[in-house]
A and B are shown apart, each in its own frame.
Chain A
């Protein structure tokens, strides 16, 4: 079955760029008609959808982050990536990647990666 795994630096300095990669195993990122999403969760808080990329490469971003976010895909490596620029302490969170399924018209996230903690601090 499809599995996802996040990777990237766990510590980023303020004003710098957060870069994470999600590696997909057990299936091709290009097969099927899926969106691939990034979601984050500050410690002790709820979930925030960051954005997604379709297998065609088209993207949708959360307007609250749109000016700072780029999501891209590298099908040859079966990976998709997140870049978040000009980070502040408010961007400290566990970052998850997830596949977005279309179940009877309702887009839901399954499976998820295990998550990776990114701390923004000098």
Chain B
């Protein structure tokens, strides 16, 4: 199985901050990496697919980058509605696997 490791596991930030979350795969996964946002009590919501493509309807302050084993999700200017948990997910091979999540909290 491909292990996905996210860091940090949690962070505190203020509205307007630039936030960066990293995801590392245990082996190369090319650009087969997706990012999701999950709010409490809700299903995850797709933000970024294929490492850097913005899902329709997702604000442009979200961006993704990386390839191979190292990936980054960036929120350019954190908004109140962005406080949530973020997950990466690899689709290079089955079993499809997720990172452990990064909880973004209000400072």
Contact = CB atoms under 8 A, between A and B. Distances in A.
Contacts of A62: 94-95
Interface of A is mostly: strand
A113 B42 CA distance: 9
Nearest to A106: B50
8 contacts: A46-B87, A46-B101, A105-B32, A106-B32, A107-B32, A108-B34, A110-B55, A115-B42
A49 B98 CA distance: 8
B32 A46 contact: no
A47 B49 contact: no
Interface in A28-65: 37, 46-49, 60-64
Interface residues on B, range: 20 to 34
Interface residues on A, range: 20 to 34
B33 interface: yes
Contacts of B23: none
B100 interface: yes
A92 to B, nearest CB: 17
Nearest to B94: A60
B97 interface: yes
B21 to A, nearest CB: 14
Given A62-B94, A115-B43, 20 more contacts: A46-B100, A47-B87, A49-B95, A49-B96, A63-B1, A64-B95, A103-B49, A104-B53, A105-B50, A106-B34, A106-B50, A106-B91, A107-B32, A108-B49, A108-B91, A109-B44, A110-B55, A112-B44, A112-B45, A113-B43
Contacts of A113: 43
A114 interface: yes
A80 interface: no
Nearest to A6: B43
Nearest to B36: A109
Interface string A78-122: 000000000000000000101001011111111011110000000
Contact of A107 (B44, B91, B99, B100): B91
